[in-house]
Structure 1
Amino acid sequence: MRKTLNWREFRALCEAKSQKYSREFVVINPWEPTSQVCSECGYKWGKLDLKIRSVQCLNCGTEHDRDENAAKNINKVGRGHCHDSKRTRIDRKTTSVAS
């Protein structure tokens, strides 16, 4: 029977593999609001219900898949780019897009 890995073991394996192949392994803050910020303009729309799978930013008009947007933001944060809080203070709301 195959053992199921827990998160710590998975992370350790990823770190070891990264080291073996001379790759950089970066850990970001687990509380980083990656699904709450537009990956194009940095506008922060805040928490969304998990059933909302796509959003359209009213600041820049970009339509995002929730998970793809979060992945782009994780990549940015991992490379040292922070969410710009000055650009996120626009008084507009982001709406969910009907699928």
Structure 2
Amino acid sequence: MTRQRIGEELWPTLEALLPERRVSPRGGRPRVDERAAALNGILFVLFTGIPWKDLPPEMDFGSGMTCSRRLREWQDDGVRARLHAAMLARSRGNTRWPFIL
């Protein structure tokens, strides 16, 4: 199974559109900044169509449940629409992407 990751040249553009890590009002251990891994995991699941729970741990995308939760959070925050708009602007008409946002 191959894994496609967001390239280093594209990541800064996408990272700027993602919300900062949320801090729990209940305290606890700070979350690791796993936004790149989560986004790669989300794209992998959407591209392959596998269930979230079947995201292979050896792919280093984090757990499928974490990726699923980030997708819901980011959709609620309007991130998906911003990422899509940024990718359209960057593609300059070339919409033959290996994944759909």
TM bracket, shorter-chain basis:
0.3 to 0.5
* Structure with higher strand content: 1
Instruction: Give the TM-score normalised by the residue count of structure 1.
Output: 0.33
Decide which structure has the larger Cα Rg and report it.
1
Instruction: Give the TM-score normalised by the residue count of structure 2.
Output: 0.33
